[in-house]
Structure 1
């Protein structure tokens, strides 16, 4: 055992020397670049040795891999290296035909496109695949903000979200919070100005900020604080609408406040009728010191409450009032006797595919 340890210690200095020499040739973090350079050389050699057999278009492979894997600092230099290898491949051709001229033109055009892409990526500072994974992570964080926390068995709460054009990013988002050791659910549905990917970046920021405010402030202070936060951003199109629900999970008593948002709708299980709770409050991010009225009510056994965005009820050919009537008619038909899965059924059957749609269904069993 001792002899083996002594041998390992004796070998470790030599391993360190090899590692240091390797790092001199290939600086830390440039392993991918070195591998792509080696691949480019390996692809170019057959073109130089057998110019009549190996096509120059083989250089597309390392160019494509470089555009996916390299960062904005490394990618321009790698593209220049590929262009140099392409020049060597051209010089090795015994005869340049019109077909080869077209292939060469396309290759240089691809190099130019990749260069432009690298300059645009420099604003983000990460490689293509890494940047995409960051966006996916941010999107997942938005969706996790809207996850409903565990509730008592007597309550069913469902959310459904669809973005314009089916893209994974939307201007509509939901934030739900239930503070520890409390019997109150705080939930807000927000519609950021714009739609789809255009509003997605603002939704990324606002979902985190509103989640922090929702759990830290009394219910009456949330919308004023959210309004002040948006005003401080100074965005040209930085307004948003919202509806905020504060629900007591023991008594069923609730408070609803709206900020330029479509009104909440409540189902009375006893009468089977829907009531629209019209509230007053300006759009968030436009008026300093805005005030928001409170609508109070109670959800009894069998009752339900709908919170939604204008994409559910508003289209270019239909006013929002008519859209609400249509939504409630669909709700009466689709939710009759079966509330589970009702949020998805309603969203899929209503609204415009060209607008973001979000809906929250709260049902007391």
Structure 2
């Protein structure tokens, strides 16, 4: 064949290359012998490729075989990258490439690379002027099996001897390949070049894998499924901890080396790849003969035989233990940071931050104790402590005040301090004041600094020496930043919440008055979460009549508006009670007031007016929880008290009055709904549980009324604490809680007060006269004989005035306390009583047309007297004292 037999431009350069010397590998007799002795297609193509490349000193080469559909597929290559082979893994029959042209034209093709650059502009190598290609067809008679393509980086064409030699190599290779393929596929239905290509591909891929693994710690395997023989190279044997000569090439040995927990997964992956004939991929642990556990990542490809059954798997396995452990550490660190971030993001207060650290950071760092400092006005004080004794906490708190303390040094240097044992810590802080606790042996000191401003500090300690790895130090630095932000947010929240809580407390009574014959205790707790102030309130209102008004209420919502409405209601209630309104009237006035305040809020309220002397109670309720009644034995039960709608809904609402008696030793428990309401809970069941808890607590303490008021007051204080914050209960409060406890407890050893009351119909003088006489009898029965007549006379004057000038009913009350007798007469006349001057000689009224001298007598004979409006009524009262002598009668 002549060099110029093919069209195409010859590259410029020196003349033809000299013919090969006799006895070289390219000399036809030697080439023929080598090719004819190849016993299988794979070795034949590799031999032909090596002969061609070496014979003409080519840079690279490739053999392409024609498939049944006419497309060409590269099967054997030398010095071609995977990128180029993947790019041209299938070549169409009409391609301008030399491989396809040689097959189409059935002749040798010599072509310069520059002629292909227009069709493949992205391949830079084709634009180089000295690159040429030679493509020789693999012809068997008129049938073409494929082509051999050689790349030569020098001028072209070679001499005629070269062309003849290449043609001879191609012809012998083609005929030998035809023979080998016919022997191997004659019995295979549908067999042909496609099957041959698949068989040849396994060897080609194995060769490329070997090249890829040559510079890496990766081993190769070849697994024959028919025989079960598993061939490992030396590197793979070393990965499994075996010497190559000790590996018996049995797949059972391989499975036995796999960690028991991973065998089933590997077996499934192998079965699936054999079933589909696709890629194999598995990551698993192995247990080496020395007991070390390593993790391998294996990949492979299953190849089928000429019958289409899976015949073998060729692949590689790489030790990825360090990479896997590093990834696990990174994942652990990332998950931990996310966990801590999530926990601290939910932490609202400083206390929440300490709790989140105890639950997440301490276990993550393997630590045992933490103290969290907060900066305030240049001082560091412990905001939360966990795992330290009281003595250690005291010493650490005191040490933080010194400039050279560990926390102060960390803040000055701006980075965490790590001490892996006591010696390292004592070397830096030898002073006795900084001496670490005896039960702790390693420490991390974190500065908490946000935007160049000190937020606080944190000391985390271990009860044993601890080595802090680079990962530990990185993790601690990350957590310190998260903790700083959480602390800054929590501190601001606590400050704001303290301000709002103080606002709430200012609106509540600072102190409850000490009253005779009554023990009173109150508690207010803000909600555990949230910053806004609530609308819960309570109050205790001593009345001039000696009775006591107790009130508790709850304005809807949590806001400054709710607090303002609460303040207005509380002030209004105090004013209405001071005016002397009856309980029903008082609640009606409060309801109208809230309706007129131009707010969408409503309020619930419960008001009870108690006479400590006789135990009578008048109670009204506006949508508020029903009080509990606690008897003298300590048993609690819900009291049946009818009520009206909440305040602020209907200005015309009326509120029924419930009248009852509170015997000595019994108590009323008034509370807001925050004590018994929670999400998803049943209100009635919660109230029943509250009553049961109070009863059981009283029974366990043997708490019952013993007639001593001081003891009753102490017990009531303890009960109030138990109700609002039982020991061990850390359930977050979703709402504010207000509690008011009132127990009637007249001191049986020293009775201090007595009272009585009478009623007379308006205009019925007989009833008025009987009331006066009943008063005299009662006063004498109390032992005030010296002032009984005076009291009866003065009361008669007040009763007469009321009967004369008022249209409604008349009430008279008398109360004896500490030797002072107070008499009050109630009527419906709102005019102020006048003291009419009396003529000293005649004893008659000095003003013409004015009759009587009753109020003059009251002024002269009573120790004190006065009058005051009481809601829709008026009260005129006087007091006489047993110690004072009776006045001289006129």
Aligned match of 1:209 in 566, 572, 576?
Answer: 572
Which residue of 2 is the match for residue 192 of structure 1? 555
CA offsets 1:123-158 (integer angstroms, 9 cap, x no match) = xxxxxxxxx99978854541227x432210x32111
Which residue of 2 is the match for residue 359 of structure 1? 739
Which consecutive unaligned segments of at least 5 residues does structure 1 have?
A: 1-105, 108-131
SS, match of residue 652 in structure 2: coil
Check whether the contact 1:241–1:259 (CA below 8 A) recurs between aligned residues.
yes
Aligned length: 233
CA offsets 1:267-307 (integer angstroms, 9 cap, x no match) = 23369452422322101000121011222211112211111
Which residue of 2 is the match for residue 344 of structure 1? 721
Which residue of 2 is the match for residue 143 of structure 1? 508
Check whether the contact 1:277–1:295 (CA below 8 A) recurs between aligned residues.
no
Aligned match of 2:589 in 225, 231, 242?
Answer: 225
Post-superposition offset of 1:363: 1.4
Check whether the contact 1:164–1:196 (CA below 8 A) recurs between aligned residues.
no
Aligned match of 1:280 in 630, 643, 648?
Answer: 643
In structure 2, what is the Cα distance between the partners aligned to 1:321 and 1:197?
30
Which residue of 2 is the match for residue 121 of structure 1? none
Q: How big is the alpha-carbon RMSD for the aligned residues of Structure 1 and Structure 2? A: 3.0
Check whether the contact 1:258–1:280 (CA below 8 A) recurs between aligned residues.
yes
Verify: 1:159 aligned to 2:522, yes or no: yes
CA offsets 1:149-187 (integer angstroms, 9 cap, x no match) = 2210x321111111113769431001221124x211111
Indicate how the Cα distance of structure 1 residues 265 and 134 shifts in structure 2: closer, same or farther if over 3 A, else same: closer
Check whether the contact 1:163–1:196 (CA below 8 A) recurs between aligned residues.
no
In structure 1, what is the Cα distance between the partners aligned to 2:500 and 2:520?
28
Which residue of 1 is the match for residue 536 of structure 2? 172
Alignment of 1:89-168 (within 5 A): 139-144=504-509, 147-152=511-516, 154-165=517-528
Which residue of 1 is the match for residue 615 of structure 2? 252
Check whether the contact 1:139–1:168 (CA below 8 A) recurs between aligned residues.
no
Indicate how the Cα distance of structure 1 residues 170 and 135 shifts in structure 2: closer, same or farther if over 3 A, else same: closer
In structure 2, what is the Cα distance between the partners aligned to 1:355 and 1:137?
17
In structure 1, what is the Cα distance between the partners aligned to 2:635 and 2:622?
28
Which residue of 1 is the match for residue 674 of structure 2? 311
In structure 2, what is the Cα distance between the partners aligned to 1:157 and 1:288?
32
Indicate how the Cα distance of structure 1 residues 263 and 137 shifts in structure 2: closer, same or farther if over 3 A, else same: closer
* Structure with more of its chain in helix, by fraction: 1
Indicate how the Cα distance of structure 1 residues 143 and 331 shifts in structure 2: closer, same or farther if over 3 A, else same: same
Check whether the contact 1:178–1:215 (CA below 8 A) recurs between aligned residues.
no
Alignment of 1:12-91 (within 5 A): none
In structure 2, what is the Cα distance between the partners aligned to 1:355 and 1:134?
18
* Structure with more of its chain in strand, by fraction: 2
Relative to the length of structure 2, the TM-score reads 0.25
Indicate how the Cα distance of structure 1 residues 168 and 331 shifts in structure 2: closer, same or farther if over 3 A, else same: farther
In structure 2, what is the Cα distance between the partners aligned to 1:334 and 1:161?
20
Check whether the contact 2:500–2:532 (CA below 8 A) recurs between aligned residues.
no
SS, match of residue 339 in structure 1: helix
Which residue of 1 is the match for residue 461 of structure 2? none
Indicate how the Cα distance of structure 1 residues 135 and 313 shifts in structure 2: closer, same or farther if over 3 A, else same: closer
Check whether the contact 2:607–2:621 (CA below 8 A) recurs between aligned residues.
yes
In structure 2, what is the Cα distance between the partners aligned to 1:320 and 1:135?
28
Check whether the contact 2:612–2:744 (CA below 8 A) recurs between aligned residues.
no
In structure 1, what is the Cα distance between the partners aligned to 2:634 and 2:524?
29
Post-superposition offset of 1:244: 0.6
Indicate how the Cα distance of structure 1 residues 232 and 352 shifts in structure 2: closer, same or farther if over 3 A, else same: farther
Check whether the contact 1:174–1:188 (CA below 8 A) recurs between aligned residues.
yes
In structure 2, what is the Cα distance between the partners aligned to 1:228 and 1:173?
19
In structure 1, what is the Cα distance between the partners aligned to 2:733 and 2:555?
17
SS, match of residue 647 in structure 2: coil
Indicate how the Cα distance of structure 1 residues 251 and 149 shifts in structure 2: closer, same or farther if over 3 A, else same: same
Which consecutive unaligned segments of at least 5 residues does structure 2 have?
A: 1-450, 453-496, 704-714, 746-890
Post-superposition offset of 1:197: 5.2
In structure 1, what is the Cα distance between the partners aligned to 2:584 and 2:528?
35
Check whether the contact 2:537–2:553 (CA below 8 A) recurs between aligned residues.
yes
